[in-house]
Structures are given as structure tokens and as C-alpha cells.
């Protein structure tokens, strides 16, 4: 076990990270006049607000105080963010999304989250995802189970045991790369015809956490960035779920990837459906 993994398992360090994340999230509750304080980023319909940038700046500063040796992969590219490919296999890294679900945030939909993961190379060893609008904090460390803290009460969470025919599924539209639109909606239709219902809510991190908590049973997206899924990935794993690329390989939290998040009961059939195979 590396030094980074040992520190990520330290309850005191975890508590400090959670405190920093919840404080950052609660700061978003006072945001106002959001649409007039936004900028366009590269890609299709890709936006950031002053709250994305400021939340990341403050949050990364606090995280640096907690683990000074850690590097950063952060969406708004402050501090030591940016090129994730330069992160070595044994380096400790914070992966930060100050607001996952920025479009929801701009439009006043209460479905956005502050996300922080601690990874050692490609392995996520701790993650927390906080939706301040519902006061829901999902968190997990490797080998310690997954938990949800809501309104001051903490409970363990686990994936459902529903098969695909009874599943509530979710998907992401990869809105920043609209070249995937035809394939995405074709796959979503296949999934819709094979499960109970589908949803599209606009936060990959929360969608994966909802699979971890048994609210959803399947979630997929064709291309998302490390900060969109890293924190949620360890939460799902510790809740008994499975996260993979759509081709079945293991996602690397240092690079963009497709993702498929499922419980174990629905997984095989979901994979068959998304590959265009018939489900018996």
C-alpha cells in the first residue's frame, strides 16, 4: 500500500476533505444572477460560471493544505490541473469538479454537485460527491463501504438487486461533443425498450451515485472527463456496483472515457442491449 492510499484511508483526512467539499457546496446556495456571470468554454454548449471558477480556487487551496504533496486534475484548470497524462502511477492526485451539472446550476435546477476524488495514479481510493441543494453527501473510501449523509444522518448505501426489465436507467448526452448524439440516443432507445424507464438529469457524478444508492440501476455516457466520474467511481464500487467503459474495459481516471455504471443483476443484460444483442 502506498503512502497516498494510507492517507486516503485515514478517517481524519477524509473528514477534512468532506468538510472542505460541504463548505464549498453550501457556498453555491447563495449564488444569484448566474446566467449573467458565465463564459463559454471549448466544445458544444460548454459553460462555466464565476462560481465554478471561484469554488475551484478556494476548494483546491483547502485541499492543498490537507495533502500538500498531492497534484490536481481540476475542471477549470487552476493550480496544477490540466494534462492528466503526466500523472504517474504512484502519484497522489486530487480530481476536482467544482460544479458537476453546471447547466442545471445556470437554469436553477437543484441537481448539481461538488466532487472530489483522491487517486493514486489510475486508482481512485476516496471520493465524495455533495449536492448542497438536497444536502446529500455521498462518500466512500476503498475497503470502507459507501455512505450517504443527508440532513446530518449517515447511512450505508448499496446498489439494488433489480434486473434490467425492472430497472430505472439513466444516460448522459455528452453535450460538449454533440458528434455522439445519434449514437447516444440510439443506445438510449434500446435501453428504454428493455427496462422500466429512462432518465436524463445532467450530472454524471450524481447519476453514478444514484446507481450506488439503488435509485438507478444502469447509467451510461459515451464520453466524460475524469472529474465527472472519478469521485463517484469509488462510491459505486464500495456500494457493490460495477463501473466500466462501454467496451468492458476499466476506465482510467486520468483521461476521458465512456462509462457504464450498473448493479450486478442488470449488468449482463445491459451490456447485451448496448451492444445491440437480444436479451433472452
The verdict on pTM exceeding 0.85 is: yes
Whether residues 57 and 92 share a domain: the answer is: yes
Whether residues 147 and 185 share a domain: the answer is: no
Q: Which residues pair with 260 in a beta bridge?
A: 220, 244
Alpha carbons within 13 angstroms on the beta-carbon side of residue 253 total 33
Whether residues 74 and 174 share a domain: the answer is: no
CA 254-259-261 angle, 5° bins? 120
In a domain, 79, yes or no: yes
Q: Is 156 helix (H, G, I), strand (E, B) or coil?
A: strand
In a domain, 280, yes or no: no
Dist CA 193 CA 272 (whole Å): 13
Whether residues 182 and 265 share a domain: the answer is: yes
pLDDT confidence of residue 196: 97
Count of domains for the chain: 2
**Contact (Cβ atoms closer than 8 angstroms) between residue 8 and residue 126:** yes
Whether residues 23 and 130 share a domain: the answer is: yes
C-alpha cell at 28: 453555491
**Contact (Cβ atoms closer than 8 angstroms) between residue 27 and residue 83:** no
In a domain, 265, yes or no: yes
Last residue in a domain, options 156, 183, 215: 156
pLDDT confidence of residue 90: 84
Cβ of 149: how many Cβ atoms within 10 Å? 17
What are the φ and ψ backbone dihedral angles of 71, each rounded to 5 degrees? -95, 180
Q: Which domain holds residue 71?
A: 3-156
Q: Is 225 helix (H, G, I), strand (E, B) or coil?
A: coil
Residues whose CB falls within 8 Å of the CB of residue 227, separated by 6 or more in sequence, listed in order: 73, 74, 75, 95, 96, 97, 100, 115
Max CA pair span of the chain? 54
What are the CA-CA distances from residue 190 to residues 273, 274, 276 (Å)? 6, 7, 8
pLDDT of the chain along its 280 residues, tens only?
A: 677 777 777 999 999 999 999 999 998 988 655 555 555 545 544 556 778 888 899 999 999 999 999 999 997 663 333 444 467 778 899 999 999 998 898 888 999 999 999 999 889 999 999 999 999 999 999 999 999 999 889 999 999 999 999 999 999 999 889 999 999 999 999 999 999 999 999 999 999 999 999 999 999 999 999 999 999 999 999 999 999 999 999 998 888 999 999 999 999 999 999 998 876 5
Last residue in a domain, options 156, 186, 206: 156
CATH of the domain at 50: 3.30.540.10
Whether residues 225 and 194 share a domain: the answer is: yes
In a domain, 279, yes or no: no
Whether residues 234 and 206 share a domain: the answer is: yes
C-alpha cell at 100: 458537476
Whether residues 126 and 207 share a domain: the answer is: no
Last residue in a domain, options 156, 172, 197: 156
Dist CA 221 CA 271 (whole Å): 13
Whether residues 170 and 261 share a domain: the answer is: yes
Whether residues 249 and 191 share a domain: the answer is: yes
Paired sense of beta strands 146-150 and 136-141, if any: antiparallel
Whether residues 45 and 134 share a domain: the answer is: yes
Whether residues 150 and 216 share a domain: the answer is: no
**Contact (Cβ atoms closer than 8 angstroms) between residue 105 and residue 135:** no
Q: Which residues pair with 95 in a beta bridge?
A: 73, 117
Dist CA 115 CA 25 (whole Å): 9
Amino acid at each position: 500500500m502506498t503512502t497516498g492510499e494510507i492517507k486516503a484511508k485515514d478517517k481524519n483526512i477524509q473528514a477534512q476533505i468532506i468538510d472542505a467539499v460541504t463548505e464549498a457546496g453550501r457556498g453555491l446556495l447563495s449564488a444569484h444572477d448566474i446566467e449573467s456571470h458565465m463564459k463559454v468554454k471549448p466544445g458544444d454548449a460548454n459553460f462555466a460560471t464565476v462560481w465554478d471558477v471561484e469554488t475551484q480556487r478556494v476548494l483546491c487551496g483547502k485541499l492543498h493544505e490537507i495533502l500538500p504533496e498531492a497534484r490536481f486534475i481540476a475542471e477549470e484548470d487552476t493550480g496544477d490541473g490540466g494534462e492528466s497524462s503526466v500523472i504517474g502511477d504512484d502519484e497522489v492526485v486530487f480530481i476536482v469538479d467544482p460544479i458537476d451539472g453546471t447547466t442545471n446550476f445556470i437554469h436553477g435546477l437543484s441537481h448539481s454537485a461538488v466532487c472530489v476524488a483522491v487517486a493514486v495514479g489510475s486508482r481512485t481510493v476516496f471520493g465524495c460527491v455533495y449536492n448542497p441543494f438536497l444536502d446529500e453527501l455521498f462518500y466512500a473510501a476503498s475497503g470502507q463501504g459507501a455512505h450517504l449523509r443527508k440532513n446530518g444522518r449517515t447511512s450505508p448505501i448499496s446498489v439494488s438487486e433489480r434486473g434490467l426489465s425492472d430497472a430505472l436507467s439513466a444516460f448522459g448526452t455528452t453535450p460538449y461533443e454533440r458528434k455522439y448524439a445519434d449514437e447516444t440516443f440510439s443506445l438510449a432507445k434500446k435501453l428504454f425498450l428493455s427496462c422500466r424507464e429512462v432518465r436524463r438529469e445532467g450530472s454524471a457524478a450524481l447519476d453514478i451515485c444514484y446507481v450506488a444508492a439503488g435509485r438507478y440501476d444502469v447509467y451510461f455516457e459515451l464520453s466524460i472527463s475524469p472529474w465527472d466520474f472519478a469521485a463517484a467511481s469509488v462510491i459505486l464500487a464500495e456500494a457493490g456496483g460495477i463501473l466500466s467503459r462501454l467496451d468492458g474495459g476499466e476506465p482510467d481516471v486520468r483521461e476521458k472515457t465512456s462509462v457504464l455504471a450498473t448493479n450486478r443483476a442488470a449488468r449482463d443484460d445491459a451490456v447485451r442491449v448496448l451492444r445491440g444483442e437480444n436479451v433472452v
